[in-house]
Amino acid sequence: MPEDHSDSGTPGRSWLDRITQFFSGEPGNRDDLLELIRSLRERDILDVDTLGIIEGALQVSSMQVRDIMVPRAQMIPIRANTHPRDFLPVIIECAHSRFPVLGDDPDEVIGVLLAKDLLPLVLDPSRMERFNIKDHIRQAFIIPESKRLDSLLRDFRVSRNHMAIVVNEYGGVAGLVTIEDVLEQIVGEIEDETDVEDDDYLIKELDNDEYTVKALIPIEDFNEHFGCAFSDEEFDTIGGLVMQKFGRLPERNEQVTIGDFQFTVLNADARTIRLLRVTPLLATQEN
């Protein structure tokens, strides 16, 4: 009788055979593979971090650029006809390393400007007066929003680009995506010293009937918590709804009223709103 090692001292043989079968083109699917991998975690063959990375890698293969790109409304572009004294403060404030350069037409992509290429202007101010942005820009890497993330990651690696400009089916600028955005889908959020540390909450109640709310909370969850009925047909998150109301990326402490709520921006980076203070106006009026 053949010896069964599935539960004996050599458990690796059973799952290794199943993985080999999956990649050999024999019957099997993604769900089966995920089930197998998760079973390895339950048996302590894989740790939690490794499992997360594998799941992220599998997820990336089924996602498109439009799923993770920074939308056009949240981009920080540089206009080709702008003088350095006008755009340098923006570059310093948002602390990004790469910026899309656009022409008079917002769908005209001129190239990409690297912040480090502007350092000579700081060291030699006389060069600023004869500055021509076309002498400093790099060629833009332009991709369709339907491009798959695994394919994009491969292209990033081969071309050594770190940022791509995303265009829609009509050739208009739809947004941008960076290699960090893709990697974060695999390994989780990559924070640096400029990122703000957030607690593990979406809604936190404060005094005086006010709340702090993370902008990424789904509108459906916001409605359920506050008993309201904001539409989620155009936007998934409350941050997207607030951004639409402003019509631009707001600055800290700016306020806007939507329905029966006043939203105050507590934290926003150069791409998106991150944290809001929410004041229900009906509660304020009752007090």
Say which CATH number the domain at 241 has: 3.30.465.10
Same domain, 20 and 123: no
Asked whether the predicted pLDDT for residue 53 surpasses 80, the reply is no
Cα angle vertex 204, ends 202, 208, to 5°? 145
Beta bridge partners of 276: 213, 265
Across 122-131, 148-157, 195-204, the highest mean pLDDT is recorded for 148-157
CA–CA separation, 246 and 231 (whole Å): 17
Domain boundary (187, 216, 247) is at 187
Domain containing residue 26: 13-62
163 and 108, same domain (yes or no): yes
Same domain for 70 and 87: yes
Indicate if 227 and 119 belong to the same structural domain.
Answer: no
234 & 251 share domain: yes
Residues 279 and 178 in one domain: no
Whether residue 105 sits in one domain with residue 52 = no
Cβ 139 vs Cβ 112: under 8 Å: yes
Q: Is residue 222 situated within a structural domain?
A: yes
Most confident of 57-71, 129-143, 266-280: 129-143
Which residues, at least 6 apart from 94, have a Cβ–Cβ distance to it below 8 Å? 76, 269, 270
Q: Is residue 4 part of a domain?
A: no
| pLDDT surpassing 60 at residue 73 | yes
CATH number of the structural domain spanning residue 129:
3.10.580.10
Whole-number average pLDDT of the chain: 79
The verdict on residue 5 lying in a domain is no
- How far apart CA 81 and CA 138 sit, in angstroms, is 16
The mean per-residue pLDDT over the stretch 183-195 comes to: 62
Q: Which of 9-18, 79-88, 95-104 has the highest mean pLDDT?
A: 95-104
Question: Is 8 contained in some domain?
Answer: no
3 within domain boundaries: no
Please tell me whether residues 164 and 89 are part of one structural domain. Answer: yes
Q: Residues 183, 137: one domain? A: yes
In a domain, 252, yes or no: yes
pLDDT digits (tens, 9 = 90+) for 116-134: 888 877 777 777 777 888 8
Greater pLDDT, 63 or 145:
145
Q: What is the total count of domains within the chain?
A: 3
Choice among 41-45, 170-174, 220-224 with the minimum mean pLDDT: 41-45
Query: Which span out of 17-26, 42-51, 217-226 was modeled with the highest average pLDDT?
Result: 217-226
For residues 254 and 173, state if they share a domain.
no
Average pLDDT over residues 40-62: 74
Please, which pLDDT band fits residue 142 given cuts at 50, 70 and 90? very high
For residues 80 and 183, state if they share a domain.
Answer: yes
For residue 32, is it within any domain? yes
My answer on whether 167 and 72 are in the same domain is: yes
Token pair for 219: 């509108």
